[in-house]
Amino acid sequence: MLETLGLMGAGFIHALSPMNLLAMVASTALGITIGCLPGLSAAMGVALLLPVTFGMDPATGLIVLGGIYCGAIFGGSISAILIHTPGTPASAATAIEGYQLTLKGQAAKALSVACYASFCGGLLSCISLYFFSPLLAELAMQFKSPEYFWLSIFGLTIIAGVSSRSILKGLMSGILGLLISTIGMDPMEGVERFMFGQSTLYNGVNTTCALIGLFSMSQVFILAEKKIIERAKAAKFKMQYGLSRQEIKRLMPTITRSWLIGNILGILPGAGATIACFMGYNEARRFSKHKEEFGTGSIEGVAGSEAANNAVTGGSLIPTLTLGIPGESVTAVLMGGLIIHGLQPGPELFSTYAPMTYTFFAGFVLVQFAMLGIGLWGSKVFAQISRLSDSILIPSIVVLCVVGSYAIHNNFVEVIIMFIFGVIGYLVRKFDLNAAAIVLGLILGPIGENGLRRSLYLSDGDPMILFSTPLCWMLIILCVVGIFSPIIMGRFEKRMLDKNS
Amino acid sequence: MKKSDFGVVSVIYAIGLGFLFMTLDLPDAAQTYPLVLISALLFVNTLYLIKSLASYRSNHQVEDDVAHAFKEFIPMQFLGVAAWIIGYLALMYVAGYYLSTAIFMVGAMLFLRVKPLHIAISVIVIAAMVAAVFSAFLHVPLPTGMFFG
Amino acid sequence: MKKVLLSLAVAMALPLSAQAWTPQNDINVIVAYKAGSGTDTGARLLSSQAEKFIGKTLIINNLPGADGKIGWTRLVQAKPDGYTIGFINLPTFTTLAAQKGAPFKTAQIVPIANHLTETSVIVVRADSKIDSLKGLVDAAKANSKMRCSTNGVKASNHTAAQLFAKSAGIQYKAVPYGGTADQLLALRQGEVDFSCAKIADVAKLVTGDKPELRILGVFDKQRLKEFPNVPTLGEMGYYGEWYGSARALVAPAGMPADVVKYYVDTFKKVMSDPEVIKAHQTAGLNLEYKNDKELGELIKAQEKFARDVISTLY
């Protein structure tokens, strides 16, 4: 124990070397830039910069990748808040409340809330990295096909949370998302489904593409239909970006909750930051004392989403480093980097290579501070973008959407797909269906389908396999609570009000 | 009940039936899962229709949400922007990224009545940012058109 | 007459070779699997090493999906101007190309060099009661629904399992997962009973103090150097040929001969370089260089294999 503490301390000392500090700041800044550009995801950023790290010392190389990872997950919130365009899918839920805040002139505040929340989420997830790795890794090993199925069901209950007015319409949107997610190769039978002869669709509709279309391109259409107001926006703009003590106090429960959600989702391979941000947002709304703010600009909504997605970063490192199971697509690339350096994930990393590993952990902690600093400073600068006239934003957003959706796979067909989803997104928003629900269906669809069909195949069609482990039951209870708690809590609150009046 | 309800319900029925049609072409084992989803969609859609009709029966009101949604809608501006975007995509296929982006941004902003100075600054900033981050730094190839690049 | 023709040819070749092709721009390298996967890791390692010799950036373009179909379709459709090359997996590539209505054919690529050779093995959990190939066969005969995880329907590890099963006369349940990482996770979690994978994928899981998995057999004609105690399938009376994945570098057909020659020569230099060899060893990858002619023969052999063996396998 003492020895481990000693190693941890040594890790910090090494992490504070000039080379590593420079690496941290540069990589975090780069990560934030990559994150805030729609279409460039965190995984892409890490993959693109992987070769650069080959010549470096392994610890420094890992710190660089960690900086890009955390920076990008935060960076996505910048464009989500300012132009309703999640820079990475992980910030999709941030766009819901963040953009409303921008419309009220509070872009700077929204950005700094996102920054603080990301910082807290990432930092707290480092605690689990240092102290709970073995335990959480074991939890990851318990998640098999049936458990993933129930996880996806729980994820789908979020649809009720993001459906502003009509739950039926929210459900329709969610099922539509599920249906769209079936486009592509059938995972169990290997046949083509609904592909219209397009080889691009073998893997289904790309989530990032659909997200850019549904959130950003649709925003362009919405901006284009109304008269372009220039002065009014600038007049309402408030430069205040710090958070008052009262606000911080109000956000703490949300951030803590989202940290736990993101941390646990992070350790599960296949469940990533995107699901975490929606869950964090939904739980923030469920437990909020200011529910009426949601939908018109709630800082709790922003905090709930951003703390969760950054908490995924530390969590996803756990199974990657201890078991060699990537917790998320970014860590899969990171693992590739480790292997090329000759480091195998597993106990070796904590025994033979412990000094390097703990230097990396320490660097990961310090990266959070770099992110806070750069992010807050950047908030001042970036917030100015919200003062730009829509007439400038419209073409600029289009250009970014196009380059972003093209950059995913260098495939022009995906630009067309993005545009189609833009049209769908516009109609969806006009007629009170729910774009977030479609995205949820799109992401959770494959997880749920694989979980369900594989479970049934393994058990020869016996549905009892879905109820076979304690973990399954825990998840089922969560689902039930998730569906019924708004109703129960509503009645509870009513009774309290009746009692008091 | 809302004015848009019939439209929305019809479109969803159409989508569901379209998928159903395509599903029947698949081998039997692969049909089950899509069929489950399609039935769920059609079921929820029908529930919505029933709810809509029921609320009409009880208060005989038709909320004109279409007018509300399209209040302040400026057709010329909207269609103009849409046309420019479609033109941009078509142009890019032929002329490559940078050229078509420049044409699109200048054209669209002129259409939206932006001051020439602002146009110039925006185009330069965006082009520089994309070139720096995507091309120079990340080496992400951008579309090169059939004729130019 | 021959002499005249020969000297004419030499006279023409001289000015041509004086201007040997070299790349002027960055090169696009298509990898048909997702970032972080086994193929991708190997591709990235080779590309980063090769950059020192080529002097231009090799941009890895991950195009995963449909067990390689998406990436390889794009590869054969790419302009053969020397700026797009890609990695293929054998026999997966030839298997897919042999299918009816396949979006690409083996004639649509030109070989450059073979990079890695990964032999397939059969693994079970280290705590499994099965400790030999015969034990596995007996268990399968008793229970025809033994579960085997694969990296996809009819993907390379599924083919391996089929080869074994047919030669041993057993039935089993092949459960497809999204890739080798997922399939091995399922095995480690105990969701399935056994699995077939490549030696590099399981190397670190079967060695050390507390190995998680155990290798029962190897698909090769002779035993592996690193695992002399593991019998080959042939020894035990089952499938006796080599089976595994070869990872090779190819280019779209139609590429001018001098461009192909440039790549062939360059990658020969790269893969003979002692530093590169050492880097592969560090990463646990089995570098096995074959030049373009040898690769061409390997592709033909795999094509035959795909036509004759795999088509009757499922």
What's the pLDDT tens digit per position in B86-115? 999 988 888 888 888 888 988 888 888 888
Going by C-alpha positions, the residue among C38, B137, C83 that lies closest to residue A49 is B137
Q: Do A430 and B37 touch (CB under 8 A)?
A: no
Asked if the bond preceding C91 is cis, omega within 30° of 0, the reply is: yes
Minimum Cα–Cα distance from B68: chain A residue = A430
Q: Which domain holds residue B38?
A: 5-69
The minimum CA-CA distance between C59 and chain B, rounded to whole Å, is 7
Same domain, B83 and B116: yes
Contacts of A483 (CB under 8 A, 6+ apart): A157, A160
What are the Cα distances from residue B49, in Å, to B6, B12, B19? 8, 11, 20
- The tally of CA atoms less than 13 A away on the side-chain side of residue C140 is 23
Minimum Cα–Cα distance from C149: chain A residue = A458
Long-range contacts of B14-18, Cβ-Cβ distance < 8 Å, separation of 24 or more:
B15/A176, B15/A179, B15/B41, B16/B41, B16/B42, B16/B45
Name the domain boundary from B52, B69, B86: B69
Same domain, C65 and C29: yes
Query: Residue B119: inside a domain, yes or no?
Result: yes
Strand partners, C122: C196, C217
| Facing A336 at nearest CB: one of C40, C47, C282 | C40
Helix (H, G, I), strand (E, B) or coil at C247: strand
Same domain, B37 and B55: yes
**A354 has pLDDT over 90:** no
Chain A positions in Cβ-Cβ contact with residue C192 (cut-off 8 Å): 458
Per cent of chain C over pLDDT 90 is: 41
Contacts of A138 (CB under 8 A, 6+ apart): none
Query: Where are the alpha helices (H) located in A132-182, listed in sequence order?
Result: 133-141, 145-162, 167-181
Residue found by looking up tokens 């969701």 in the block: C191
Q: Do A325 and C181 touch (CB under 8 A)?
A: yes
Averaged over C165-185, what is the pLDDT? Answer: 90
Chain A positions in Cβ-Cβ contact with residue B51 (cut-off 8 Å): 168
CATH number at residue C285: 3.40.190.150
Please work out, in degrees rounded to the nearest 5, the angle formed at the alpha carbon of residue C250 by the alpha carbons of C161 and C196.
15
Q: Which sign, positive or negative, has the C-alpha torsion C151, C152, C153, C159? A: negative
Q: Are A224 and B78 in contact (CB under 8 A)?
A: yes
Helix (H, G, I), strand (E, B) or coil at B61: coil
- Burial class of C59 by CB neighbour count within 10 A (0 to 12, 13 to 18, 19+): buried
Per cent of chain C over pLDDT 70 is: 94
Give the pLDDT of residue C7: 61
Same domain, B27 and B79: no
Same domain, B80 and B29: no
Same domain, B11 and B62: yes
Averaged over A239-256, what is the pLDDT? Answer: 82
Look at chain B and report how many structural domains it folds into: 2
Same domain, B62 and B103: no
Same domain, C112 and C123: no
**A237 has pLDDT over 70:** no
What are the Cα distances from residue B109, in Å, to A216, A345, B106, B119? 18, 52, 5, 7
Same domain, C126 and C98: no
Q: How many helices (H) and strands (E) does chain B have?
A: 6, 0
Same domain, C123 and C206: yes
**A271 has pLDDT over 80:** no
Please work out, in degrees rounded to the nearest 5, the angle formed at the alpha carbon of residue B37 by the alpha carbons of B32 and B43.
125
Same domain, C277 and C142: no
Same domain, C152 and C293: no
| Facing B105 at nearest CB: one of A169, A176, A395 | A395
Q: Do B26 and A193 touch (CB under 8 A)?
A: yes
Chain C positions in Cβ-Cβ contact with residue B139 (cut-off 8 Å): 26, 57, 59
Amino acid at residue number C245: S
The residue among B135 and A474 whose pLDDT is bigger is A474
Q: Do B81 and A220 touch (CB under 8 A)?
A: yes
**C23 has pLDDT over 80:** yes
Same domain, C32 and C109: yes
Rounded Cα–Cα distance for residues B106 and B104 (Å) = 6
Give the pLDDT of residue A422: 94
Rounded Cα–Cα distance for residues A307 and A117 (Å) = 5
Q: Are A44 and A6 in contact (CB under 8 A)?
A: no
pLDDT band at C12 (very low <50, low <70, confident <90, very high): low
Query: Residue C256: inside a domain, yes or no?
Result: yes
Same domain, B52 and B93: no
Query: Residue C290: inside a domain, yes or no?
Result: yes
Give the pLDDT of residue A232: 46
CATH number at residue C126: 3.40.190.10
Query: Which residues 469-488 of A are in CB contact (within 8 Å) with B?
Result: none
Subunits with at least 3 CB pairs below 8 A relative to chain B?
A, C
Give the pLDDT of residue A164: 62
**A393 has pLDDT over 80:** yes
Same domain, B133 and B80: yes
Two tokens at B111?
A: 């259409």
Give the pLDDT of residue A391: 84
Query: Residue B146: inside a domain, yes or no?
Result: no
Name the domain boundary from B69, B98, B122: B69
Same domain, B107 and B127: yes
A68 touches chain B (CB under 8 A): no
Best mutation site among B135, B139, B142, B144 for testing chain C: the one with the most C CBs within 10 Å?
B139
Give the pLDDT of residue A253: 92
Antiparallel, parallel or unpaired: β C213-218 and C244-252: unpaired
Same domain, C95 and C107: yes
Residue found by looking up tokens 């923030």 in the block: A284
Same domain, B64 and B79: no
Chain C positions in Cβ-Cβ contact with residue B141 (cut-off 8 Å): 26, 28, 59, 61
Rounded Cα–Cα distance for residues C143 and A362 (Å) = 51
The residue among A263 and A197 whose pLDDT is bigger is A263
Q: What is the mean pLDDT of chain A?
A: 86
Rounded Cα–Cα distance for residues C129 and C131 (Å) = 6
Query: Residue B102: inside a domain, yes or no?
Result: yes
**What is the number of other CB atoms lying within 10 angstroms of the CB of residue A242?**
12
Two tokens at A494?
A: 């009513």
**A486 has pLDDT over 90:** no
Q: Do C70 and A187 touch (CB under 8 A)?
A: no
Query: Residue C229: inside a domain, yes or no?
Result: no
Rounded Cα–Cα distance for residues A450 and A471 (Å) = 18
Going by C-alpha positions, the residue among C151, C84, C159, C112 that lies closest to residue C257 is C112
pLDDT single digits (tens) A89-132: 899 999 989 998 888 888 888 999 999 999 999 999 999 888 88
The residue among A236 and C25 whose pLDDT is bigger is C25
Averaged over B29-40, what is the pLDDT? Answer: 90
Q: Are C101 and C57 in contact (CB under 8 A)?
A: no
Length of chain A: 501
Best mutation site among C147, C185, C213, C282 for testing chain A: the one with the most A CBs within 10 Å?
C185
Averaged over C8-29, what is the pLDDT? Answer: 70
The minimum CA-CA distance between A231 and chain C, rounded to whole Å, is 45
Give CA torsion, residues A250, A255, A261, A263, to 10 deg.
Answer: -160
Rounded Cα–Cα distance for residues A173 and A170 (Å) = 5
Q: Do A341 and C282 touch (CB under 8 A)?
A: yes
* Total beta-carbon pairs less than 8 A apart between chain A and chain B: 150
Two tokens at A83?
A: 């132009």
Query: Residue C7: inside a domain, yes or no?
Result: no
Query: Which residues 210-249 of A are in CB contact (within 8 Å) with B?
Result: 220-221, 224-228
Chain A positions in Cβ-Cβ contact with residue C205 (cut-off 8 Å): 324
A199 touches chain C (CB under 8 A): yes
Residue found by looking up tokens 């729609």 in the block: A38
Minimum Cα–Cα distance from B82: chain A residue = A221
Best mutation site among A391, A400, A418, A423 for testing chain B: the one with the most B CBs within 10 Å?
A391
Q: Name every residue in C having a CB less than 8 A away from some CB of B.
A: 26, 28, 57, 59, 61
C62 touches chain A (CB under 8 A): yes
Contacts of A361 (CB under 8 A, 6+ apart): A8, A11, A126, A129, A130
* DSSP result, C113-132: EEEEEEEEEEEEETT-S--S
Amino acid at residue number A123: L
C173 touches chain A (CB under 8 A): yes
Query: Which residues 181-200 of A are in CB contact (within 8 Å) with B?
Result: 182, 186, 188-189, 191, 193-194
Query: Residue B43: inside a domain, yes or no?
Result: yes
Going by C-alpha positions, the residue among A279, A288, A223, A226 that lies closest to residue A253 is A288
Look at chain C and report how many structural domains it folds into: 2
Q: Do C175 and A450 touch (CB under 8 A)?
A: no
Same domain, C109 and C134: no
- Burial class of A224 by CB neighbour count within 10 A (0 to 12, 13 to 18, 19+): buried
Q: Which domain holds residue C282?
A: 23-117+244-312
Going by C-alpha positions, the residue among A82, A104, A106 that lies closest to residue A94 is A82
Query: Residue B142: inside a domain, yes or no?
Result: no
Q: Report the interhelical angle of A273-286 vs A435-458 (nearest 10°).
A: 110
- Burial class of C12 by CB neighbour count within 10 A (0 to 12, 13 to 18, 19+): exposed
pLDDT single digits (tens) A132-186: 888 888 888 889 999 999 999 988 888 776 776 778 888 889 999 999 999 988 8
The residue among C103 and C252 whose pLDDT is bigger is C252
Going by C-alpha positions, the residue among A111, A109, A94, A19 that lies closest to residue A61 is A19
**C215 has pLDDT over 90:** yes
